[in-house]
Chains A and B, each alone.
Chain A
């Protein structure tokens, strides 16, 4: 009964919403980490750009990056398709075409979120208003999620929304870990070859304390940016340890933001759809790849390579779903 075009829009509506929420969480927790670091460490905001995979777009538009320009680009910039403001706008545009299958209250929440983001986006840039703006985005997105949980029939439309959401969430988890990897590489290269180091990391290595000494703070920041700190601690009951964090975020089947949880949810969603056989293989393959990912979290190269491998797998999964359901050319 669900139109392919509408399924496509629900899937993307969910992805954009999740992207807005996740980008907000990441910017918020990154700000927290930076605030905690001693001022003697010159902190770089560049790794944040890698989270949304848009370093090149940024450099074309802004040139050099400082805190203000990078946060503006990630939060408020409408010319950046991956910014919080753009994601919210895109989500609303997608859901606008799904109103016949989407709960009315859900649409109102999406519209409300859009109105807020469109009129307040610039307040999310300066540190003073940033936390409040980002918390509102996250909160509104959770609110919408709650409305769907409690008022939307578990039909095909619901499954497409969840599949989009979970795929986006899994991807964001890999990106956050990828960013951690690039930060590790950056500080490693600063030690090995100061000449090639960036200004920021060179400054870090020349000061008495280095980023390395704050490894724990950094991994804590990773957990926070995925709202995973408390659940991690409850599940491990031990000090924060790089490999433990990575394993938790990738493989803990009960934490709802881990890659495994997300992909298993995608798998269940796909099984509930008509013609589930068409995607059976691609999701099974994705879960196999995920199972086999086991990087050494202290080694930037290893972590980086494994996250790349996982992202390629997620892209293939997306293509598999799109080919099965969104491009039905029958007729």
Chain B
């Protein structure tokens, strides 16, 4: 009998405080308890073999060379009740709707600033605001068409949005592949309950991309623009192109002609491209407008986009809403644009630019996570209760020197789930990244990518730093 243990201070996704299965996880937990660890290990080994033979990889850099690593996967799924998920889903759609209204507003009328809801000086300082996008009006008012929002569950069991990735969020291919693997590993459990499927994502994405094509194009050509085979998410780029029947292109395959249209270099000559799902950052998109040294982009792409001859998803400039300062305003933005209360809370965020919030941060610095406002990828983050006195003093000095550049949040205790680690089942921390699509309609993946920190006690879930993944089951209960 497999022994499932929890971590006393965190919320566990499968078990309640007494070690009993949560209602949605009843069948899974019963199954896990009826099989020995050795049988579970067998299922884990088979899953890893599947991953290897299916070539499910991510790329890490070492000695300047990209190396393909097998995707790390834990066989024990994470379970969410469908009833709870529907609320989360509505909250995510609401959030992305407000963020798109905000982006569209910033590049056009800027009502949000005129009405005093968002401070003008923050926009001036934003490193992700692209002047070149002023006045552009993309179809459906949608700029950030594809969003990956990171959710965490605190000790009270409440989901919080930790951040919204609006630039080039990755990981969705693993949601689909993880499901394929877990269907084989737990075929018996799938047979006895309703687990919402995730396979429709690529079809929904394809419909969305096709709908963005310039008017009057009946059969648009959709391309996925990848930085190339050395990018850590290349597997995903190829996967999505393959599933959608789209063309997987690199910058060097594309050219913008004097008619301001985008073409790809095919064996039959140049062929027009109508929609580009870009998986490169917008500053690399077009050396004519942004970084001149970019070899990944396409000269003239911005011209073509502004002329309405090609759709780009996510639109250039969408990143303006993907920043830790804007994050703190999202609840206000939801109220301002939609006249609704946020359905999923933000993690409370203290903005050091305001004196009262700054004083609170300085007084409670041991209890907070301090984050620079404009860095991404976890750089410059200080966790108060794990820092030395010296580090804390340095942080206070930095905040006082440049208050606008800092925000702070309470230290959350990420929820856990039982995870198979070196032949033992132990609780490990995890988060969740659902993917949200928006154009004329919206779509949210059932569940999303559960990332798990495989090191005991660790909160770092990134696959490049020892993180793994789990399949996420959204289960219908009666």
Query: Could you list which residues of chain A lie within 8 angstroms of chain B, going by C-beta atoms?
Result: 1-7, 93, 96-97, 99-100, 104, 107-108, 111-112, 115, 156, 160, 273-275, 325, 328, 330-331
Contacts and interface: CB of A to CB of B under 8 A. Distances in A.
A115 B52 contact: yes
Nearest to B54: A108
Nearest to A325: B267
Contacts of A156: 267
B265 A100 contact: no
A108 B267 contact: no
Nearest to B248: A100
Interface in B38-74: 52-55
B267 to A, nearest CB: 5
Instruction: Tell me whether chain B's interface is mostly helix, strand or loop, or mixed.
Output: mixed
Nearest to B226: A97
Contacts of B250: 5
A7 B221 CA distance: 18
A111 B267 contact: no
Pairs A-B, 5 closest by C-beta atoms: A331-B255, A274-B268, A100-B241, A111-B55, A99-B238
Contacts, number: 80
8 contacts: A3-B249, A4-B266, A5-B252, A99-B238, A156-B267, A275-B268, A325-B267, A331-B255
A331 B268 CA distance: 13
Contacts of A2: 266-268
B253 A112 contact: no
Given A107-B55, A108-B55, A97 B229 contact: yes
Interface string B251-292: 011010100000111111111000000000000000000000
Contacts of B350: none
A331 B272 CA distance: 12
Given A100-B241, A100-B247, A4 B270 contact: no
A275 B269 CA distance: 9
B242 A104 contact: yes
A255 B253 CA distance: 39
A40 to B, nearest CB: 48
B239 interface: yes
Contacts of B264: 3
A117 to B, nearest CB: 14
A99 B266 contact: no
Interface of B: 52-55, 221, 224, 229, 238-239, 241-242, 245-250, 252-253, 255, 257, 263-271
Contacts of B52: 115
A328 B242 contact: no
B55 A331 contact: no
Given A96-B238, A100-B247, A115-B52, A331 B265 contact: yes
A100 B237 CA distance: 9
A96 B54 contact: no
Given A97-B248, A274-B269, A330-B270, 14 more contacts: A4-B266, A4-B267, A5-B250, A6-B248, A99-B238, A99-B239, A99-B241, A100-B238, A100-B245, A111-B54, A111-B55, A273-B268, A325-B267, A331-B265
Contact of A111 (B53, B221, B245): B53
Contacts of B241: 99-100
Contacts of B242: 99-100, 104
Given A99-B248, A107-B55, A108-B55, A273 B257 contact: no
Nearest to B228: A97
A145 to B, nearest CB: 19
Contacts of A4: 253, 265-267
A328 B229 contact: no
Contacts of A3: 247, 249, 253, 264-267
A97 B227 CA distance: 12
Contacts of A7: 267
A289 B298 CA distance: 44
Most A CB atoms within 10 A — which of B55, B224, B238? B55
Most A CB atoms within 10 A — which of B52, B263, B268? B268
B207 to A, nearest CB: 18
Contacts of B265: 3-5, 328, 330-331
Contacts of A104: 242
Nearest to A97: B229
A303 B347 CA distance: 79
Contacts of B257: 331
